[in-house]
Chains A and B, each alone.
Chain A
C-alpha cells in the first residue's frame, strides 16, 4: 500500500502548522511591509504633489510680485526721469536768466563807462576849448573875452539878413514880456548899454531888455524873446562836439558788437561831427557863420 494513513494525517497536520507558521512569519510581515511602503510612497507622492502645488503657488505669487515690482520701478524711473528733466530745464532757465542778468549788468556797466568817459571827454574838451579859446582871445586882443563875445554877438545881430531880422524884430516889438539876454557872466553896464544900443539900432525901435546870468552857456550871449532866439555861445559848439563824440562812441560800440565792422559805419562818424553844428542851428541864428568869426578875433 502506497498510502500510509498515519503519515497522511501527520502530513496534513504538518501542512496546517506550516500554513500557520508561514502566515505568521512570512506573508503577514512581508505584506505589511509592502503595504507600509506603498502607503509611505503614496504619502510622499502626495506630499510632493502638495509641495509642488505650493511651489507653483509661490512661484506664481513671486512672479506676480516681480511684475508688480517691475511696474513700480518703471513708474518710479519714469517719474524720476521727468523730475530730472524738469529740474534740468529749471536749472537751465535759471542759468540763462543769471547769464542774461550778468550780461545786462555788464552792458550797463559798459554803457555807464561810456557815459562817464563821454562826460569826462566833454568836460575836458570844454575846459580845453575854453582854455584854448580864452588863451587865443587873450593873446589876440587886449579886451577881455566877455567883451569880445559881446562884440561878436552884436556883430551877428547887425549882420542878420532880412528875413530873420524881420521875424526877430516882430517878435521883439510885439512880445508881451521883456526880451531876455542871457550871458555866462554878469555883464558890465557898458556892455549892457552897448547891447541895448545895438538892439535899438538894429530893429530901429526901443527894445526893452532884461539881463540874466546863465552859467550853463559856458561862455557867450543869448537873446530870447517870444519863442525867437539869437545866440552865440561856446555851449553850442560844445554841444556839437559832444554829439559828435557821442556818435563816434556809439559807432564804436556797434562795430564791436558786429565784430566785422562795415566800411560805411566808419565813414559816418567822420561826417557826423561836421554835420552836427548844422543840426544845432536855431531857427534864426547861424552858428556856421559864427564859426569863422569866432576864429577871427
Chain B
C-alpha cells in the first residue's frame, strides 16, 4: 500500500501537489493554532473558517481572487463577534454561534448563484487531490507570510496572549494583535479550505496544537511540535485517503484525533494515568 502511494507520488503530478499542499497547510495551521487555543479562541477559529464561505462565493461572482473575498469576510466576522461581545450583554459563544451560522448559510446560498465549476461539497469538505499548481504556490506564499508575521511579532503575540493585562498597562495595542491574529487565521482558513474543507478546518487548527500543548512547557517548542504534528497527520491522512479511496480531509482530521487521543493518555503534563491511579 505504501509502495503504491510512493509510486503514485513519482508518477502523478496531482498527488505531488496534494502532498506539498498538505504539508504546508498542516504546518501553518499548527503554528497559528497554538495562539488560537492559548487565547481560548477555538470557537472563534471555527467561526472565521465558516465565515469565509460567502467571501469565496462573492469572489467567484465578481471574478476576483477568492483570497480577497475570503479575507474580507473572515475579518468582518471577527469584527462583528468582537463588537457584539464588547458592546452587549451577549456572551462570546452566543455571538460566535449567531455569526458563523448566518455567514455559512449566506455562503451556501451565494455559492448557488456563483455558477462556478467549484463544487460546494469540495469547499465544505476539501478536495486536496484537485489542487492546481497555482493554488499550491498561493498556499506556499501565504504560509510563508503567516509564519514570517508570527516570527517577527512573536514577543508581542506572546505577551498579549499570556498576560494581556500587562500588555495593556504598557500601552500595547492589544486589539491590533487580536485582529492581526484574526487576519492570519483567515489566511490559514482559506488555504486549509482546499485540504480539509471549510467544515473541518478548525480540527486542523486546534487538534495538533492541543496535542503539542500536552507535552511542552514553552511556547516555542509547542509551536514547533504542533507544526510537526500538523504536517505529519496531513501526510498520513493523505496516504490513507488516497490508498483506501476515502475523503482525504476527513482522514486528516481523524488521524489528528487519534494522535491527540493517544497523547491525552500518555502525556506527562496531563498526568491522566497517575491521577487515575491516585483516585483509584
A, B in one complex: no
Residues of A bordering B, CB below 8 Å:
none
Residues of B bordering A, CB below 8 Å:
none
